[in-house]
Amino acid sequence: MTYLYIKKLPSQKRTKKLSRPKRKFFAITLFIFGIFLFASAILPIIQFQLEYSTKFNQILNPLSTKYYNQSGNILGSATDFTQLDNWFAPDYQGIQTTVTSPVSPGNSVTYSISIPKLKIDRASVALGSMDLKKTLVQYPQTALPGQLGNSVIFGHSVLPQFFNPKSYITIFSTLFRLKQGDEIYVNYDDIQYKYLVEEMFEVQPTDLSVLEQRFDGKYLTLITCSPPGTYLRRLIIKSRIVDI
């Protein structure tokens, strides 16, 4: 008796292909999701332009500013804006050095600031640091809280929907919601100071006048990027000390 053995070929797995209706549904879903992500980033900026920037005497077209950031982008830049020494336009670095003097770590000063309306409670402020990822930063050569002059504090901001009062990356994202008369509290050297908001306006990133010192009173200035999530302009909140 003769036997014939035939080697069985390995079975080939067939990959399942999505049917045409399913592929179409998948593509539409991805498209809608992309539109949603784009809208969630752009709509808050447009809303800010319509609702707030007109109050700050700004025109509605955000691209019309002379300088918006080093790369020409609205939402992003290769420059690290969590470092305070990158906040001024590169063509004006010479001017920046005339108002800045480095503060050594050994001479660093820290205190806290609270803004009840924005649910910011005892956020840390550092003089002697430039890292906005870790703390709010008081600009060098500006007055300490409670002294005659202008204490200038910088904070980072992102799109308002990501605001978290405990994160220094997002802490000033809703700063634009402050109004004249709102309260700001500063705890420095075991003393609490109360400030009331007096002015709100926007300036170009090249405008260093906001760092100027006035000695006819005790002032506090808060600064962040505007509109939130972009580097187009700087939002300035100016306040004056009052007796508690």
Asked whether the bond before 227 is cis by omega within 30 degrees of 0, the reply is yes
Residue (of 238, 199, 201) closest to 218 by Cα position: 238
Q: Is the pLDDT of residue 37 over 50?
A: yes
pLDDT tens digits, residue range 190-226? Answer: 999 999 999 999 998 888 889 989 899 999 999 999 8
What's residue 154's pLDDT? 96
Cα separations in angstroms, 35 against 24, 75, 161, 163, 229: 17, 16, 17, 22, 18
Cα 216 to the chain's mean position, in Å? Answer: 30
Backbone angles phi, psi at 51, to 5 degrees: -90, -35
String of DSSP letters for 177-221: G--TT-EEEEEETTEEEEEEEEEEEEE-TT--GGG----SSEEEE
Q: Which comes out higher in pLDDT, residue 77 or 19?
A: 19
Integer-rounded Cα radius of gyration of the chain:
26
Q: Alpha-carbon distance 202 to 54, whole Å?
A: 10
- Are 182 and 226 a contacting pair, CB within 8 Å? no
Q: What sign has the CA pseudo-torsion 44, 47, 52, 57?
A: positive
Confidence band, pLDDT 50/70/90 cuts, at residue 68: very low
Average pLDDT over residues 29-35: 65
Q: Alpha-carbon distance 227 to 173, whole Å?
A: 9
Q: Which comes out higher in pLDDT, residue 236 or 104?
A: 236
Beta bridge partners of 220: 151, 239
Cα 43 to the chain's mean position, in Å? Answer: 17
Structure tokens at 237: 């909140």
Average pLDDT value for the chain: 76
Confidence band, pLDDT 50/70/90 cuts, at residue 153: very high
